[in-house]
Amino acid sequence: MFFALLPEILMFSTAIVTLVGGVLVESRLKKDAALVSFPIFYVLLVTLGLIFYTGVNFYSTAPTGLQQLFLFDHILIDSFSQFLKCGILLLFVPVLVALRSYLLAERIYAYEYVVLMCISVLGMFLMLSAQDFLLFYVAIELQALSAYVLAAFRTDSRFSAEAGIKYFIVGVLASILLLVGIALLYTYTGTTQFHDVNLFLALQFNDLPAVIILALVTFWLGLMIKLGAAPLHFWALDTYQGAPLAVTGFFALLPKFALVGFFLRIYYQVFAGFWSPYLLTYGSWTNYFGQSFEKAPFIVWNWIQESHAHAVARINGDPLAAFEQFTPQAHMVEHFLLLPHLTGISLLFLLLGGCSLIVGTVGGLSQTNLKRLFAYSSLANVGFLLLTFVPATADGFQGTVFYLIVYSFMTVNFFMLLMAFHLAYRNPVHSIVDLHRMNPLLAFTATVTLLGLAGIPPTIGFSTKFFVYYVLVANEYYWTSLLVVFTSLVAIFFYLRLIVAIYSGGFRNLHLGSLTTRLSWDFTFTFIFYFFVVNVLFVLFAPELFDLCALFTRLIAMQFDVATEVIVPIIQRG
């Protein structure tokens, strides 16, 4: 009966068994307390298999795969959540591998890292399957509390303590905002179930009450703080820098993936179609300038067009056209609106996405610390992810999933690179300078990883960025796409600077270092495997990956019965 819930049960039991077992064997494994993480790989494999079996099952009778509700309709196990849980586990494996090598190298005899990470992942699993706001809150608290402790784990480091405190305080603030949103929503809808809230919103024909808007925006703000989007990102920079490196990787990969996945669910299941048009109504706070706010640039542009046409008509000696003061509708010129189709939450996503892009790229230019640089690059990519939410269409959904998957794997690469620096060279933050002389293989790996993150063809990072451009242009967000162009340029410089630093030493006295001497076999294998996956597999099978995201999009549209425009032409027309 609880077969579908086995991933969660397994994750929980792994945490418990590791906790108890760690206490029992700790005295015997004094030197290698990280060995306790080995059984976890096996459990992870089993969990992955289970998730794959229960979730990714497109051949069942239901077109959307198997679905089952548990816990009095509070948990929904369906293809959407299981697919995302697969992703989380695929990202969890390298974090564990890196963690093991990190703990061995730093001689930290603490097995509790793994326990906390497992509990955090359990929280993420519940977050993705939640069908109730309160369960979601419990799950996100579970995830966040373990994360707070992980950030502050190194008791001998001031930076770690600072990171933990900042993360804790800001995270609690975010949780308060979430709870306020949920409470307000409950006050006016009388329910916290996603399905019931969806029904309630569907029955609002004219106007959403301002309180509902307040509730939704507060909830959304809490999520954005947790995601670390600018201008609410300040905690993330210090947390990433201060936390131990393995934990930084954990933060950069897993909570983001889970939060964006959850946001996809809540956007499309609960608020789809209703969040958009009903927020921008008369009297709502986003409509301060009235209906003409959106149209102002159009009016100016149209006036320019008209006067030009008028002048040309006069020059061409066409008295009738010159005399006409009103252009017939048939002669309407195309206009490029500043903020087209911006309804409701799209404006907020645009603001936060644009801000994240700008802060992430420009702010990262002056960094010398690699961990902080990693944080800024995460911030810029979060900006891209938020911008894919701006046009609330199926294109955007597909772009989000595609970007999320590719970005997460590229971040795994970057994180493993940083970990390799830390393990092989005692001074990790400056290891990237002159890397070519020390270790040409690692230099090549670093170059390819950074080129992928910069979004330079022919890496897969370029395909994701191109699709973000396509999504923006196809939904007529031309000015937004211009902003993305300019920030991409800054981002390219941001990553090129690192590449130049790698090759800055020239060729005199080339020391051929070996990648394998100070790195363990499992770390090397995982690094090579993920490098291969991102740079060879994704590039060769980019169409298949893209089609997978399209399939996923159509699945969501079918499951939640959302009226989205399915993008057929991008694949079929030739």
Partner 1 sequence: MSLDYVKYLLLKQSSFLSVLLSVGVFITLAIGSNEVLGFDLAHTFLPLFLIMALAVYAGSDRGIWILTLLGSFYTLFVSFLMAQDRFPVHHHIVFDKIYAPWPFFEGLAHPVGEFILGTHNILAADQLTYVFIVLTNLVVFISILVSRSLVRDSYKGFIYLFLLLQFLILQFFLALNLLVFYVLFEAILVTMFFIIGIWGGRERRTFAAYSFFLFTAFGSLFMLLGIAFLAWKIPSLSYFTLLAEVPFFSMQLQICLFILFFIGFAVKIPMFPFHLWLPEAHVEAPTLGSIILAGVLLKLGGYGMLRFLLPFFPAAIDYLLSPLLLLCVISVLYSAFIGLCQLDMKKIIAYSSVTHMNFAVAGLFAGDYLAVQGAIYSMFSHGLIASALFLCVGVVYDRYHTRLLAYYGGLSNVMPIFSGLLFFFVIANTGLPPLSGFISEITVLAGLANVNLAVSFLLFLSSIAITINFFWFYNRICTGPVSPHLHAVRDVRWDEGVALLTLASLVIILGIRPALLFDYCDFVASYVRSQSLWNFWLPIGSDYLYYKRG
Please report, as ranges, the residues that interact with partner 1 according to CB under 8 A: 305, 309, 312-313, 316, 318, 321, 330-331, 333-334, 451, 456-458, 462-463, 466, 469-470, 472-474, 478, 481-482, 485, 488-489, 492-493, 496, 500, 503-504, 506-507, 510, 514, 516, 542-543, 546-547, 569-571, 573-574
Question: Which residue is listed with tokens 């967000």?
Answer: 477
| Residue 395 CB, nearest approach to partner 1 (Å) | 9
**CA-based nearest residue to 222, from 232, 213, 212:** 232
CA–CA distance, 533 with 537 (Å, rounded to integer):
5
CA–CA distance, 157 with 137 (Å, rounded to integer):
31
Give Cα 99 distance to the centre of its chain: 22
CA–CA distance, 334 with 341 (Å, rounded to integer):
15
Are 3 and 68 in contact by the 8 Å Cβ rule? The answer is: no
Per the structure block, which two tokens stand in for 166?
């900042």
Rank residues 269 and 564 by Cβ distance to partner 1 and give the closer one: 564
Are 137 and 222 in contact by the 8 Å Cβ rule? The answer is: no
| Residue 478 CB, nearest approach to partner 1 (Å) | 8
Rank residues 11 and 460 by Cβ distance to partner 1 and give the closer one: 460
Rank residues 188 and 493 by Cβ distance to partner 1 and give the closer one: 493
| Residue 423 CB, nearest approach to partner 1 (Å) | 17
Rank residues 193 and 481 by Cβ distance to partner 1 and give the closer one: 481
Rank residues 5 and 484 by Cβ distance to partner 1 and give the closer one: 484
CA–CA distance, 55 with 433 (Å, rounded to integer):
45
Rank residues 29 and 309 by Cβ distance to partner 1 and give the closer one: 309
| Residue 444 CB, nearest approach to partner 1 (Å) | 10
CA–CA distance, 235 with 148 (Å, rounded to integer):
12
Identify residue 249 by its one-letter amino acid code.
G
| Residue 97 CB, nearest approach to partner 1 (Å) | 20
| Residue 499 CB, nearest approach to partner 1 (Å) | 8
CA–CA distance, 446 with 440 (Å, rounded to integer):
10
Rank residues 92 and 402 by Cβ distance to partner 1 and give the closer one: 402
Rank residues 368 and 514 by Cβ distance to partner 1 and give the closer one: 514
| Residue 465 CB, nearest approach to partner 1 (Å) | 9
| Residue 149 CB, nearest approach to partner 1 (Å) | 40
| Residue 523 CB, nearest approach to partner 1 (Å) | 15
- Per the DSSP assignment, residues forming a β-bridge with 336 are none
Q: What is the DSSP code string of 67-96?
A: -EEETTTTEEE-HHHHHHHHHHHHHHHHHH
Are 558 and 64 in contact by the 8 Å Cβ rule? The answer is: yes
| Residue 514 CB, nearest approach to partner 1 (Å) | 7
| Residue 447 CB, nearest approach to partner 1 (Å) | 8
Q: What is the DSSP code string of 246-313?
A: HHHHHHHHHHHHHHHHHHHHIIIIISTTTHHHHHS-TTSGGGTTTTHHHHHHHHHHHHHHHHHHHHHH
CA–CA distance, 7 with 517 (Å, rounded to integer):
37
Rank residues 58 and 486 by Cβ distance to partner 1 and give the closer one: 486
**CA-based nearest residue to 11, from 92, 100, 103, 109:** 92
Rank residues 187 and 368 by Cβ distance to partner 1 and give the closer one: 368
Say how many Å lie between the first and final Cα of the chain, rounded. Answer: 48
Rank residues 313 and 533 by Cβ distance to partner 1 and give the closer one: 313
Phi/psi region, residue 72 (left: phi>0; alpha: psi -120 to 50; beta: rest), is left
